[in-house]
Structure 1
Amino acid sequence: MTVFYCARCSRALTPDLTALPAMPETPDDPIRPKGQDVAPSTVPLGHYATESEEDAVSLRRHGHDKALRHSGGRRHALVVIHPEDAPALEYLPGFANAVGCCGPDGTHGPNQACPCGTPLATLTADCMGPYELRLDPLRVFAFDN
Protein backbone atom coordinates (compact mmCIF):
# COMPACT_ATOMS: atom_id res chain seq x y z
CA MET A 1 0.00 0.00 0.00
CA THR A 2 1.25 3.44 -0.94
CA VAL A 3 0.29 6.96 0.14
CA PHE A 4 1.20 9.99 -1.99
CA TYR A 5 2.26 13.25 -0.34
CA CYS A 6 2.85 16.86 -1.40
CA ALA A 7 6.61 17.42 -1.68
CA ARG A 8 6.26 21.00 -0.43
CA CYS A 9 4.16 20.62 2.74
CA SER A 10 4.18 16.81 3.25
CA ARG A 11 0.37 16.64 3.39
CA ALA A 12 -1.08 13.22 2.56
CA LEU A 13 -2.93 13.57 -0.74
CA THR A 14 -4.33 10.04 -1.01
CA PRO A 15 -5.38 7.18 1.23
CA ASP A 16 -3.46 3.90 0.97
CA LEU A 17 -3.45 2.90 -2.71
CA THR A 18 -2.57 -0.44 -4.29
CA ALA A 19 -0.23 -0.54 -7.28
CA LEU A 20 -1.53 -2.00 -10.53
CA PRO A 21 0.91 -4.22 -12.45
CA ALA A 22 0.51 -2.08 -15.59
CA MET A 23 -1.21 1.03 -16.86
CA PRO A 24 -4.77 0.08 -17.93
CA GLU A 25 -5.55 0.62 -21.59
CA THR A 26 -7.66 3.60 -22.52
CA PRO A 27 -10.28 2.75 -25.14
CA ASP A 28 -10.32 4.82 -28.35
CA ASP A 29 -13.89 5.88 -27.61
CA PRO A 30 -14.59 5.45 -23.90
CA ILE A 31 -18.24 4.61 -23.27
CA ARG A 32 -19.88 7.00 -20.84
CA PRO A 33 -22.56 5.66 -18.52
CA LYS A 34 -25.96 7.14 -19.34
CA GLY A 35 -26.27 10.61 -17.82
CA GLN A 36 -22.53 11.08 -17.21
CA ASP A 37 -20.22 13.43 -19.09
CA VAL A 38 -17.01 11.61 -18.16
CA ALA A 39 -15.82 8.12 -18.99
CA PRO A 40 -15.18 5.56 -16.28
CA SER A 41 -11.83 6.21 -14.60
CA THR A 42 -8.76 4.77 -16.29
CA VAL A 43 -7.55 3.54 -12.88
CA PRO A 44 -9.97 1.93 -10.38
CA LEU A 45 -10.68 3.63 -7.06
CA GLY A 46 -8.09 2.66 -4.45
CA HIS A 47 -5.34 1.92 -6.98
CA TYR A 48 -2.58 3.66 -8.90
CA ALA A 49 -0.61 2.96 -12.05
CA THR A 50 2.74 4.21 -13.23
CA GLU A 51 2.84 5.55 -16.75
CA SER A 52 5.80 4.40 -18.79
CA GLU A 53 7.13 5.96 -22.00
CA GLU A 54 5.24 3.26 -23.92
CA ASP A 55 1.98 4.29 -22.24
CA ALA A 56 2.58 7.93 -23.13
CA VAL A 57 3.23 7.01 -26.76
CA SER A 58 0.06 4.90 -26.82
CA LEU A 59 -2.01 7.75 -25.39
CA ARG A 60 -0.51 10.26 -27.83
CA ARG A 61 -2.05 8.26 -30.64
CA HIS A 62 -5.45 8.90 -29.07
CA GLY A 63 -5.14 12.64 -29.68
CA HIS A 64 -3.76 13.72 -26.32
CA ASP A 65 -0.18 14.44 -27.38
CA LYS A 66 -0.16 17.99 -26.04
CA ALA A 67 -0.98 16.75 -22.54
CA LEU A 68 1.49 13.92 -22.69
CA ARG A 69 4.52 15.58 -24.21
CA HIS A 70 5.53 16.36 -20.67
CA SER A 71 5.08 12.83 -19.35
CA GLY A 72 6.74 11.11 -22.30
CA GLY A 73 9.96 13.06 -21.92
CA ARG A 74 10.37 12.88 -18.16
CA ARG A 75 12.89 10.71 -16.40
CA HIS A 76 10.44 10.19 -13.54
CA ALA A 77 7.30 8.16 -14.24
CA LEU A 78 3.95 9.85 -13.83
CA VAL A 79 1.54 8.27 -11.38
CA VAL A 80 -2.07 7.97 -12.53
CA ILE A 81 -4.84 7.62 -9.95
CA HIS A 82 -8.64 7.73 -9.76
CA PRO A 83 -9.60 11.43 -9.32
CA GLU A 84 -11.69 10.63 -6.24
CA ASP A 85 -8.62 9.21 -4.48
CA ALA A 86 -7.28 12.75 -3.96
CA PRO A 87 -10.29 14.60 -2.52
CA ALA A 88 -8.31 17.45 -0.92
CA LEU A 89 -6.92 18.72 -4.23
CA GLU A 90 -8.36 21.98 -5.52
CA TYR A 91 -8.51 23.69 -8.88
CA LEU A 92 -5.86 26.35 -9.41
CA PRO A 93 -7.05 29.95 -8.83
CA GLY A 94 -9.28 31.13 -11.66
CA PHE A 95 -9.49 27.53 -12.92
CA ALA A 96 -6.10 28.03 -14.61
CA ASN A 97 -5.22 25.23 -17.06
CA ALA A 98 -8.71 23.72 -16.65
CA VAL A 99 -9.68 24.22 -20.29
CA GLY A 100 -12.05 21.81 -22.03
CA CYS A 101 -15.57 21.21 -23.27
CA CYS A 102 -17.35 19.59 -20.30
CA GLY A 103 -14.36 19.55 -17.94
CA PRO A 104 -10.58 19.96 -18.00
CA ASP A 105 -9.02 18.14 -20.96
CA GLY A 106 -5.58 17.90 -19.34
CA THR A 107 -3.70 19.50 -22.24
CA HIS A 108 -2.59 22.70 -20.50
CA GLY A 109 -0.49 21.36 -17.64
CA PRO A 110 -1.26 21.02 -13.94
CA ASN A 111 -4.75 22.20 -12.99
CA GLN A 112 -4.98 20.78 -9.45
CA ALA A 113 -3.16 22.00 -6.36
CA CYS A 114 -2.52 20.84 -2.83
CA PRO A 115 -4.34 22.98 -0.23
CA CYS A 116 -0.90 24.59 0.42
CA GLY A 117 -1.13 26.04 -3.12
CA THR A 118 1.42 23.85 -4.91
CA PRO A 119 0.23 22.85 -8.41
CA LEU A 120 0.96 19.11 -8.52
CA ALA A 121 -1.58 17.21 -10.59
CA THR A 122 -3.44 17.27 -13.88
CA LEU A 123 -7.09 16.27 -13.90
CA THR A 124 -8.48 14.98 -17.18
CA ALA A 125 -12.27 14.98 -16.95
CA ASP A 126 -13.56 16.17 -20.31
CA CYS A 127 -16.27 14.45 -22.34
CA MET A 128 -13.76 13.68 -25.11
CA GLY A 129 -11.11 11.67 -23.27
CA PRO A 130 -10.16 9.56 -20.28
CA TYR A 131 -11.07 10.33 -16.68
CA GLU A 132 -7.91 10.30 -14.57
CA LEU A 133 -5.63 12.29 -12.31
CA ARG A 134 -1.90 12.44 -13.10
CA LEU A 135 0.43 13.28 -10.22
CA ASP A 136 3.57 15.26 -11.05
CA PRO A 137 6.50 13.07 -9.92
CA LEU A 138 8.62 16.12 -9.08
CA ARG A 139 5.99 17.63 -6.77
CA VAL A 140 4.67 14.47 -5.13
CA PHE A 141 6.43 11.70 -3.23
CA ALA A 142 5.26 8.24 -2.24
CA PHE A 143 5.60 6.33 1.00
CA ASP A 144 4.98 2.58 1.11
CA ASN A 145 3.32 1.31 4.26
Structure 2
Amino acid sequence: MKVYCKACHTALTPDLRYLPYASLTNEEDDRPFLPQGYYWISDGKCFANTGGRVVIHIDDLINTMRHSDPERLQGCCGISGSYGPNRICIQQHEVASEYSDCWMPHAIIFEKNAIYTIDY
Protein backbone atom coordinates (compact mmCIF):
# COMPACT_ATOMS: atom_id res chain seq x y z
CA MET A 1 0.00 0.00 0.00
CA LYS A 2 1.06 3.56 -0.63
CA VAL A 3 -0.36 6.74 0.99
CA TYR A 4 -1.07 9.95 -0.96
CA CYS A 5 -2.22 13.48 -0.10
CA LYS A 6 -5.85 13.75 -1.13
CA ALA A 7 -5.53 17.44 -2.07
CA CYS A 8 -2.49 17.30 -4.36
CA HIS A 9 -1.78 13.59 -4.93
CA THR A 10 1.76 13.79 -3.53
CA ALA A 11 3.09 10.40 -2.40
CA LEU A 12 3.56 10.41 1.38
CA THR A 13 5.04 6.92 1.82
CA PRO A 14 6.97 4.35 -0.15
CA ASP A 15 5.23 1.00 -0.71
CA LEU A 16 4.33 -0.45 2.69
CA ARG A 17 3.14 -3.87 3.84
CA TYR A 18 0.35 -4.44 6.35
CA LEU A 19 1.60 -5.52 9.78
CA PRO A 20 -0.26 -8.82 10.22
CA TYR A 21 -0.13 -9.20 14.01
CA ALA A 22 -0.85 -6.73 16.81
CA SER A 23 1.85 -8.50 18.82
CA LEU A 24 4.41 -6.94 16.45
CA THR A 25 3.51 -3.40 17.58
CA ASN A 26 5.53 -1.86 20.42
CA GLU A 27 3.95 0.39 23.04
CA GLU A 28 7.23 1.18 24.82
CA ASP A 29 7.95 4.86 25.44
CA ASP A 30 10.49 6.52 23.14
CA ARG A 31 10.54 3.54 20.73
CA PRO A 32 9.02 3.00 17.26
CA PHE A 33 5.44 1.73 17.49
CA LEU A 34 5.89 -0.54 14.47
CA PRO A 35 8.74 -1.74 12.26
CA GLN A 36 9.85 0.35 9.32
CA GLY A 37 8.27 -0.68 6.01
CA TYR A 38 4.87 -1.56 7.51
CA TYR A 39 1.57 0.16 8.20
CA TRP A 40 -1.11 -0.48 10.80
CA ILE A 41 -4.72 0.63 11.11
CA SER A 42 -5.09 2.17 14.56
CA ASP A 43 -7.58 0.62 16.94
CA GLY A 44 -7.41 3.77 19.10
CA LYS A 45 -6.00 1.92 22.13
CA CYS A 46 -2.40 3.12 22.10
CA PHE A 47 -3.04 6.53 20.54
CA ALA A 48 -6.38 7.88 21.81
CA ASN A 49 -8.98 9.08 19.29
CA THR A 50 -7.13 7.66 16.28
CA GLY A 51 -9.23 4.58 15.56
CA GLY A 52 -9.39 3.68 11.87
CA ARG A 53 -6.42 5.84 10.87
CA VAL A 54 -3.30 4.68 9.04
CA VAL A 55 -0.20 4.47 11.26
CA ILE A 56 3.37 4.24 9.93
CA HIS A 57 6.97 4.32 11.16
CA ILE A 58 8.32 7.89 11.30
CA ASP A 59 11.11 7.05 8.84
CA ASP A 60 8.57 5.91 6.23
CA LEU A 61 7.09 9.41 5.85
CA ILE A 62 8.23 11.18 2.66
CA ASN A 63 7.54 14.49 0.89
CA THR A 64 6.48 16.24 4.09
CA MET A 65 7.74 18.79 6.56
CA ARG A 66 6.78 19.94 10.01
CA HIS A 67 3.94 22.44 10.34
CA SER A 68 4.93 26.12 10.43
CA ASP A 69 2.70 26.78 13.46
CA PRO A 70 4.89 26.24 16.57
CA GLU A 71 1.77 25.48 18.64
CA ARG A 72 1.40 22.23 16.67
CA LEU A 73 4.94 21.14 17.54
CA GLN A 74 4.72 21.14 21.32
CA GLY A 75 6.18 18.37 23.43
CA CYS A 76 8.80 17.56 26.02
CA CYS A 77 11.64 15.88 24.13
CA GLY A 78 9.82 15.52 20.82
CA ILE A 79 6.36 16.23 19.42
CA SER A 80 3.34 15.01 21.36
CA GLY A 81 0.81 15.10 18.52
CA SER A 82 -1.75 16.56 20.91
CA TYR A 83 -2.25 19.94 19.20
CA GLY A 84 -3.60 19.07 15.77
CA PRO A 85 -1.92 17.86 12.60
CA ASN A 86 1.76 18.77 12.70
CA ARG A 87 3.00 17.34 9.38
CA ILE A 88 2.22 18.91 6.02
CA CYS A 89 2.92 17.68 2.51
CA ILE A 90 5.30 19.61 0.26
CA GLN A 91 2.30 21.51 -1.12
CA GLN A 92 1.37 22.71 2.42
CA HIS A 93 -1.66 20.45 3.08
CA GLU A 94 -2.12 19.11 6.62
CA VAL A 95 -1.81 15.33 6.31
CA ALA A 96 -0.65 13.73 9.56
CA SER A 97 0.49 13.99 13.15
CA GLU A 98 3.92 13.00 14.35
CA TYR A 99 4.03 11.36 17.77
CA SER A 100 7.67 11.44 18.87
CA ASP A 101 7.75 12.57 22.49
CA CYS A 102 9.74 10.68 25.12
CA TRP A 103 6.66 9.51 27.05
CA MET A 104 5.02 7.63 24.16
CA PRO A 105 5.72 5.21 21.33
CA HIS A 106 6.81 6.96 18.13
CA ALA A 107 4.65 6.95 14.99
CA ILE A 108 3.07 8.99 12.23
CA ILE A 109 -0.73 8.89 12.16
CA PHE A 110 -2.48 10.21 9.08
CA GLU A 111 -5.58 12.38 9.13
CA LYS A 112 -8.45 10.27 7.87
CA ASN A 113 -9.87 12.77 5.37
CA ALA A 114 -6.52 14.15 4.17
CA ILE A 115 -5.20 11.03 2.44
CA TYR A 116 -6.05 8.18 0.14
CA THR A 117 -4.30 4.86 -0.30
CA ILE A 118 -3.55 2.60 -3.24
CA ASP A 119 -2.92 -1.08 -2.67
CA TYR A 120 -0.25 -2.75 -4.78
Normalised by the length of structure 2, the TM-score is 0.89
What corresponds to 1:138 in structure 2? Answer: 113
Residues in 1 aligned to 2:18 and 2:104: alpha-carbon distance in whole angstroms: 23
Structure 1 stretches of 4+ with a deviation exceeding 4 A read none
- Partner secondary structure for residue 93 of structure 1: coil
- Do the aligned partners of 1:22 and 1:50 also contact (CA within 8 Å) in 2? no
Residues in 1 aligned to 2:77 and 2:26: alpha-carbon distance in whole angstroms: 22
Which structure 1 segments of 5+ residues have no match? 31-38
What corresponds to 1:8 in structure 2? Answer: 7
Aligned alpha-carbon RMSD (Å): 1.5
Aligned-residue identity in percent = 29
- Partner secondary structure for residue 117 of structure 1: coil
In the TM superposition, 1:37-116 aligns within 5 A as 39-52=30-43, 56=44, 58-59=45-46, 68-69=48-49, 71-72=50-51, 77-116=52-91
Residues in 2 aligned to 1:6 and 1:92: alpha-carbon distance in whole angstroms: 15
- Partner secondary structure for residue 112 of structure 2: coil
What corresponds to 1:36 in structure 2? Answer: none
Q: Flag the structure with larger Rg.
A: 1
The amino acid across from 1:143 in the alignment is: I
- Do the aligned partners of 2:41 and 2:55 also contact (CA within 8 Å) in 1? yes
The amino acid across from 1:44 in the alignment is: P
**Alignment length, in residue pairs?**
118
Residues in 2 aligned to 1:12 and 1:88: alpha-carbon distance in whole angstroms: 7
- How far is 1:21 from its partner? 2.0
More helix by share: 1
The amino acid across from 1:46 in the alignment is: G
Residues in 2 aligned to 1:118 and 1:13: alpha-carbon distance in whole angstroms: 11
